[in-house]
Chain A
Amino acid sequence: MRDPLNSFIASMPPSGIRKFFDLVAEMHDPEVISLGVGEPDFDTPWHIREEGIYSLTKGRTFYTANAGLRELREEITAFMKRHYGLEYDPVSEVLVTVGGSEAIDICFRCMLDRGDEVLLPEPNFVAYRPCVVLAGGVPVSVPLTDENGFKLTPEMLECRITPKTKMLFLSYPNNPTGAVMSRAELQAIADVVLKHDLFVISDEIYAELNYTDEPHVSIASLPGMRERTVVVNGFSKAYAMTGWRLGYTAAPKYIMKQMLKIHQFAIMCAPTTAQYAAVEALKNGDDDIAMMRGEYNRRRLFLINRFRELGIPCFEAQGAFYVFPCIKKFGLSSEAFSAELLKEQKLAVIPGSAFGAPGEGYVRVSYAYSMRQLQRAMDRIGKFAENHA
C-alpha cells in the first residue's frame, strides 16, 4: 500500500503539553490535583446559556451568513469600540470564527507566502508555531525572560528582522506567562513595525483578564497600526464560553475579504446557537466579566505571594489566568520538575518548555481553579520545596 499521509504533516511533532497530560491520565489517581487546565472553571453565565437554549427552542438551527450573524457583528464592533477604542465596519471588517483558534489559522494562511518569516515571541501558546509552519511560514523565535516581565522590546525585534520578515505575532495578555504590555511599551513595538513595513497579528483572547490599572490596550488602536493589524479575540476566556467554540477577528477590509474566502470554504459559518448566545454576552455580560476578573485576581495574588513566601521566584503576572514561576533553583529541567512534582506530591503543572525552548526553567500554573483547590495545591508545593531544599 502507498503511504496515505502527507509527509510534512506526518513529520510534525505533536503538542508538547500532550505528552505531559498523558502522564497525568496514566496515573488514574483521584488524589491528583491538576493546575494544568487552560480554561475557565466558571460555567457560562446563566443568562447567556439561557439565550442559547431559547434560540434552539425557536428553531434557529440554520446556517448564518458566512461572516456571522449581522446582529452579532454589530455587537462585536460596539464592544471593541467600548472596551478598546477600536472602530471596525461590522459588514466588511469583522468575521465570526470557530474559536480564536480558527481565526489565527486563517490569518496566517491568508497573509503568509512560502518562506515568509514570522517573529514569534516565546514562551507562547502551543498552537502558534505549528499554525505558522502549516501556512508555509517560518517562525523566528524571539526569546523572552522574566527579567523584563516577559515583555517584548524593540531591540529584541530589530536584531531578528530580515528582508523576509513579514509579520510580528503578538499575544498579550499572554498564555503561559501572564505578561501584559502597556500602551507605551506597545508604542515602541509599533514604531519598529511601521519602520520595517511589517504586519501584526494580535491575539487578544485574554484582553478582559487584565489586572493592571490600565485597561487592555490593543496595538491596532495605536496611530498607523489599524491598517496593518489583524486583531483576534473571542468569547472563551472573557465569558467562560470555551465549549461554545466562538471567536472573532477584525481586520482592514482588504485583508478581511481574503480571510473570509478561507472561512467560507473550510468552515461555512460558526455555530449558530453559540452566535445567539454571544449576542447576549456582549449586550449584558460586562458585569459577568468584572465578577470573574475579581475572582481570578484574588487567586492570582494568592499564588504569587505564596510562591514568593516559599522562596520560589514568581514574576508578577498581570493578565490571563496563569502564573509562571521560575523553578531553576531545584536544579531540574521543567519537564523533570513537573514529573517529580506529579509523582511525589500528586500535583500537575505544565512544564514551561512545552511553550517553546525559552520556557525552560519555568512551569505554568493555572488559577482557573477554586481557591480551595489552590490552597491544597500550594500546600503540596510547599512540601515539595521542603523536601528539595
Chain B
Amino acid sequence: MKRTKNTKIKDVVGGHLQYGWIYSNKVKEHFFKPKNFLERDARPGEFDVEGQVGSPQCGDVMRMWMKVDKKTEKIKKLKWRTFGCASAIASTSMFSVMVTQKGGMTIENALKIKPQDIMKRLEGLPSRKVHCSVLCDKAFQQVANNYFRQTGQHSRIIVEGSKIIDTRLNITERDIEQAVLDGARNLIDVQKKLKVGVGDPKAIPQIEQLIKFYNEKYYS
C-alpha cells in the first residue's frame, strides 16, 4: 500500500451540515487515555453507591461507582465504565476528574455540573455528540439519587424531567425503568433495587403497570 502524506488538518466541516467533526485534543487525550475508569471489579465495601444510565441498544451505557465522605459529602472516589463512542468515554473521564480533583467536590456541587461545563473542559464537542455528555451528568444524578435513597434523604432526590410516581419516596418513571433494566421483574424486585419499602400505597398499581410496561419493552 502506498504511503499517504499526513497532512495537518485542523478541523473538517461537513459541507452541507456545517458542523465540526474532528475531536479536540482534549477529547482525544481522555479517549485514548481515560482516567478513573474501573479496571477490575469493585471490591465489597469499596464504594458506597453505584448507578447506571442508557442501554446498549441506543449506543451508550454509563455506569458509575462513588465513595463519599459521609460527614462532608465530598466525593472521595468516582469510578466509571462506559460503552459508547469517543465523546461518551471522554466526557465521563473528564467528569470523573472534575468531581474528584482538589480533594473532591460535594455531591451538591457536583450535581450542578452541566453538560456545557464538561464540554468546555473538553474544548468542545461536535454538535451531534452533545447527547453523550448529557448522558454523563444523568449517570451521576442516578448515582446521587441512589445515595440519597440509601441514606434516607428522600427529599433530596432529584426528579426533574420525569414523572413522580411515588410522592413519598420521590420515585420516578425513570427510576422504575432503570430498575427493570437492572433486572427487576416485579414490585418486590423494584423495591429492593430502589431500596424502599412500600411508600405511597396509592402508587402501587401504577408502579406495577410501569414494571410490566418496561419489562415488555426491553425483554419481550
Q: Are A and B interaction partners?
A: no
Q: Which residues of A contact B (CB under 8 A)?
A: none
